Structure 1
Amino acid sequence: MSTSQEAQKVDVLVIGAGPTGLGAATRLDQLKSNYLLVDSYDVAGGLAGTDLTEEGFYFDYGGHVIFSHYAYFDDAIHRALPNDDDWYTHRRVSYVRKVGAWVPYPYQNNVSALPVELQVEAIEGLIEASEQRAATPTIKPQNFEEWILRNLGKGIADQFMMNYNFKVWGVPPREMQCKWLGERVSAPSLKLVIKNALVKNSADSNWGPNATFKFPARGGTGAIWKACASHLSPERQRYGAEQGKIEEIHPTRKTVVMADGRQIRYNKLVSTLNVDQLLRLMKHGLEVEKNEDAEKRVKAVEEMQGAVEKGLKFSNTIVLGLGIRGSLPPRIGDKCWLYFPEDDAPFYRATIFSNYAPENCPTASVRLKTIQHADPTIAVQNADEAKEGPYWSLMLEVCQSEQKPVDMDTILAETIKGALATELIKPEDEIVSTYLRRFEYGYPTPSLGRDAALAQVLPRLKEEFGIWSRGRFGSWKYEVGNQDHSFMLGVEAVDSALYGSPEMTLNEPDWVNGRRNVERRLL
């Protein structure tokens, strides 16, 4: 480690300016603490960012919408975007594509939309599962597959849950735990399912915390977090590959070295790095130090690395976008996002991104060339001619994992083909913009070994090293990985570091998800 310049000293260093890091920085700013926020990206937002294509279409880094369990989070985002015209509020209109039909979400509550033979199969499975639970009340499912079969039955498992969840997670449900489920997966009422099947045009589509949601009017989800960062002290933020990127973490000296050689000394560290990346940087820093204490600490880090390697799994997310010329077709209507369990499309979810905010597309007066028709065998006439809109857009998500490989060279063409097969687009539709970006860390998998690994790593980082590893991949808990959760993980980490306060979001997910949390306020 270079000693050519004096290290900057802060009470709390926050690594990463995604929602968790911004939550930590917002709380530190509110408390008027001496802190610094650093991020190797050029702008704030992290995995909750947004890209803009050359043609003027916005696409988020995945399916992000705003709903909240916390008053503090509401205060923060409304301070960031305070005007009524900064937001659109939507009622969720979501479906599952199955055998050519659109089944209202959640699927297990709305099998009435299926052909009669599939309805019978689903209801028989639900009845059998109900009888099995009644006969064996003390048996608890040991993995997600067992939970699906015990709560939803074989019919719904075969029709939807098994294949869909493999498409999302990239691992079979039997390799996932079921403690994470909570508000994430609906366990249906048998009476409700049968009623919906018998009563024509009856559907249950209001389940879940995101039955209504908000979305920014301009700039996509990333606009929220850029605005949130703008309310923090500029001198307490550093961004970019040189000023914001960490090269070494020296945990015994409580010092980090940045890519530009500058050093920062801290008392407490809140890290939103992927926990495996954090441990690699710590080990590297300890090896550089080359002293007896550091050598002892290397062993501790190696033990934590072993726990992470054994117990933590993740999948990559590939986000694709299509900008399309024309008016939004009636078959799409007011749909928000759609689920695809079948093998005729590589994506597990499609979002009608132009429905979230008209400003996600260029205005109709913008003239754009046609790249291709949705059916690539249809020749583009006058390919060099730029024509006016209107425009609409689709955003699609594909999982990539060791057990679910994806060919990056062909995935765009396969996605367009899948959108055709599922009638999201028609053969003659004119595609005027495409987007493709792969995020190596997309979903933190609720694997069978996750909780044991986290129990070996997170408390030890905090107690032995003064490091709070938090966030979507910092604390690796998908059930508290939404934007509101992630933000509050940072807020609560700061209160824990400074005051010893309990971190309820990290440690009691069911508790925070089952109530309105008003203990902290920003405004």
Structure 2
Amino acid sequence: MLDIARRTIKRVPSFQELLQGKMGSAKQELSVDVLVIGAGPTGLGAAKRLNQIDGPSWLIVDSNKTPGGLASTDTTEEGFLYDVGGHVIFSHYKYFDDVIDEALPREEDWYNHERVSYVRCKNLWVPYPFQNNISMLPKEDQVKCIDGMIDAALEARVANSKPKDFDEWIIRMMGEGVADLFMRPYNYKVWAVPTTKMQCAWLGERVAAPDVKRVTQNVILGKTAGNWGPNNTFKFPARDGTGGIWIAVANTLPQSKTRFGEHGSVSKIDADAKRVTLKDGTVVNYKKLVNTMAVDSLVQIMGDQKLTDLSKGLFYSTTHVIGVGIRGERPERIGDKCWLYFPEDDCPFYRATIFSNYSPYNQPQKDVKLATKQLADGSKPKSSEPKEGPYWSIMLEVSESSMKHVDVKNLLKDSIQGLINTDMIKSTDEIVSTYHRAFDHGYPTPSLEREGVLTQLLPALLKKDIWSRGRFGSWRYEVGNQDHSFMLGVEAVDNIVSGAVELTLNYPDFVNGRKNTERRLAEGAELLNVNKSKATAVE
């Protein structure tokens, strides 16, 4: 554990002081107890907890000028906002709720939504989750799905082993019909790897297991199932997108302990000497390091060939985020839909979010005059004269990996055509804004090899006083939502300071199983009856 009792805390110079030379040139040497790399949700969670403890000296650095990481938001020159993929706020932790409420405390800071989500299949909109709503499918597909579910239920009664991979889990839970219609093609489009190459320990509350009796009743009666899942209700910030949340959280921290942008970019990590060199030449000495950059990138910067070779067993996909801004009233067929799933090959994207439905400030206001860039079919508009709205927008996500190639050059064009193919937009719709950005590390794949790597890699880093945490820092997708990621940082700090158990990292099923209940940081060890000696803190 971190010894903070017998030492003098050194004040970390602020960014402005460094620039103004009040405490020397920018190329200097600093010393802190805890250095946090990355100002996404995990890094900000660590910094927030460190600031709350008011004991260890600390510093948080990030190469981006704006905090938020993979939960940030971009704005096009026309004024359309797009998140880095589909993000919404729902929580498993009261601590997280309290921090978000402190950052954005007013009722008018938020819009509350009930999820309206569908799967596009056979030119139909099937309510989510698909496996509970096969009553919407053509009769022959209903028969295939129910046959498969019955076979799966019978097999489950005699099975004496766990599924060996995600594909086998799908077959055992849902049967061949649902697997072939939705689960296999959709998950390939999301993860960019076949389901046979993924493990199934990550699933938890993320995939709904069908109730065969209820599904059969709904098919006979022509009914659909109700909302399911931890995000069936959610809230979204009124302004600035998801990224605005994390900017607001960062603004609650002392500016003197943050270095963002060029002066916060890491160029070298000497884990043995416990020194980090920033690109502006500043050297930061630390006692403990909370890392939130991708762990495969971390070990490369460290220059540790053994750990670098080990990290090559981790698999990930790149996420392409595409945005389309459209002039006109939102079509009735779109209505109040939130996000939509696309398992079929008539479009390159696996998910579409009606981003304009989340907040009226996610797109320009009606009186803003914009020129039409093109019609949806690619043809030129009759006039390029700017004119008023209203406007609405769609955000799309496309995955790419070494096992799933993407025609990046034509991806925007193909995506717009996919929107036409799936009846999301009409060929004559006026497109006033487009957006495309690729995020190299998009999804940390729960591959078959993942646990074998992580059970060696994370402890090896911990022996070097490095707590690697976060969506890619600890590579566990099952605890990769914003609330999880934030708490991974919070709990890492508690582990450093007091040896507290990191529940989110080590017990994801427990954390996810207590949705929307009050859980304080110190509560977990008692509830789990975990002996304090099992804590991963470094003395």
The bucket for the TM-score relative to the shorter chain is over 0.9
| Equivalence for 2:309 | 306
| Aligned equivalent of 1:130 | 153
1:24 aligns with 2:46: yes
Contact 2:28–2:281 (Cα < 8 Å) also in 1: no
The separation in 2 between residues aligned to 1:397 and 1:6, in whole angstroms, is 42
Distance 1:482 1:196 in 2: 32
State the shift of 1:467 in Å.
0.3
> 1:4 & 1:488 partners in 2: Cα distance?
32
Shift of 1:517: 4.9
**How far did residue 199 of structure 1 move?**
1.9
Matched, 1:253 2:273: yes
| Equivalent residue number for residue 440 of structure 1 | 440
Find the counterpart in structure 2 of residue 288 from structure 1: none
CA shift, 1:304, in A, is 2.1
Q: 5+ unaligned residues in a row in structure 1: which ranges? A: 284-300
User: For 1:112, which of 117, 120, 135 is the aligned residue?
Assistant: 135
Note the alpha carbon deviations across 1:172-227, whole angstroms, 9 max, x for none: 00000000000111111111111221223x22231110000010000100000000
**Separation of aligned partners in 1, 2:51 and 2:417:** 49
Asked whether 1:179 is paired with 2:201, we answer: yes
Alignment of 1:340 with 2:342, yes or no, is: yes
Aligned match of 2:109: 86
2:401 aligns to what?
401
Amino acid at match of 1:34: S
Q: Is the CA contact (8 Å cut-off) linking 2:38 and 2:291 kept in structure 1?
A: yes
- Whether the 8 Å contact between 2:318 and 2:442 is mirrored in structure 1 is yes
Q: Give 1:382's aligned amino acid.
A: S
Q: Are the structure 2 counterparts of residues 444 and 5 from structure 1 closer, same or farther at C-alpha, using a change threshold of 3 Å?
A: closer
In structure 1, the residue matched to 2:474 is: 475
1:478 positional shift: 0.2
Q: Aligned letter for 1:7? A: E
Alpha carbons 1:11, 1:34 under 8 Å: kept: yes
Separation in 1, partners of 2:193, 2:511: 28
C-alpha deviations, 1:299-338, integer Å up to 9, x for none? Answer: xx3332222112x100000000000000110000010000
Who is 1:389 aligned against? 389
> Do the aligned residues in 1 keep the contact of 2:491 with 2:521 (CA within 8 Å)?
no
List per-residue Cα deviations over 1:338-391 (Å, max 9, x = no partner): 0000000000000000000010010000000001111124x41112x1110000
Q: How does 1:32-431 map to 2 (within 5 A)?
A: 32=54, 33-136=56-159, 138-200=160-222, 202-241=223-262, 243-283=263-303, 301-310=304-313, 312-377=314-379, 379-383=380-384, 385-431=385-431
How many percent identity over aligned positions? 56
RMSD between superposed Cα atoms in Å: 1.3
**1:451 shift after superposition:** 0.7
Q: Give per-residue Cα distances to partners, 1:463-512, cap 9 Å, x unaligned.
A: 2x100000000000000000000000000000111111110000000000
Residue matched to 1:296:
none
Equivalence for 1:287: none
1:13-55 C-alpha deviation (Å, 9 max, x unpaired)? 0000000000000000101131100000001000100000010
- Give 1:75 deviation, angstroms: 0.5
Cα distance, 1:6 vs structure 2: 5.1
Distance 1:430 1:466 in 2: 55
Corresponding letter in the other structure for 1:488: M
Structure 1 range deviating more: 5-14 or 18-27: 5-14
Structure 1, residues 106-153: CA drift from partner, whole Å, max 9, x if none?
Answer: 0000001111111111111101111111232x1210000000111100
Query: SS of the counterpart of 2:90?
Result: coil
CA distance, structure 2, for counterparts of residue 400 and residue 155 of structure 1: 26
Task: Rate the CA distance shift 1:44–1:6 in 2: closer, same or farther, 3 A.
Answer: closer
Q: Which amino acid aligns with 1:39?
A: D
Amino acid at match of 2:117: S
Q: Contact (CA 8 Å) 2:90, 2:230: kept in 1 or not?
A: yes
- Hey, what's the Cα distance between the residues in 1 that align with 2:101 and 2:408? 38
CA displacement 1:279-312 (0-9 Å, x = unmatched): 01111xxxxxxxxxxxxxxxxx3332222112x1
Letter matched to residue 475 of structure 2: W
What amino acid maps onto 1:441 in structure 2? H
Are 1:126 and 1:151, in contact at CA under 8 Å, matched by a contact in 2? yes
What is the distance in 2 between the residues matched to 1:376 and 1:259? 44
Q: Distance in 2 between matches of 1:306 and 1:433?
A: 43
CA contact (8 A) 1:71 1:520 kept: no
- Partner of 1:184, secondary structure, is coil
Structure 1 5/422 Cα, relative in aligned 2: closer, same or farther at 3 Å?
closer
Q: Is the 8 A contact 2:351 2:396 kept in 1?
A: yes
Q: Which amino acid aligns with 1:314?
A: Y
**Alpha-carbon distance between aligned partners in 2 of 1:456 and 1:26, rounded to the nearest angstrom:** 29
Q: Distance in 2 between matches of 1:51 and 1:348?
A: 21
The one-letter code sitting in structure 2 at the alignment partner of 1:329 is: P
SS of the residue aligned with 2:82?
strand
- C-alpha contact (below 8 Å) 1:365/1:389 kept by paired residues: yes
Bigger mean CA offset, 481-490 vs 452-461: 452-461
* SS class of match (1:167): helix
TM-score norm. by structure 1 comes to 0.93
Contact in 2 for aligned 1:164/1:348 (Cα 8 Å): yes
Q: Which residue of 2 is the match for residue 453 of structure 1? A: 453
Please state how far the C-alpha of 1:250 moved relative to its aligned partner. Answer: 1.1
The residue type equivalent to 2:216 in the other structure is I
Q: Which amino acid aligns with 2:388?
A: E
Check the 8 A contact 2:369/2:387 in 1, yes or no: yes
Amino acid of the structure 2 residue aligned with 1:281: I
Q: How many Å apart are 1:252 and its aligned residue?
A: 1.5
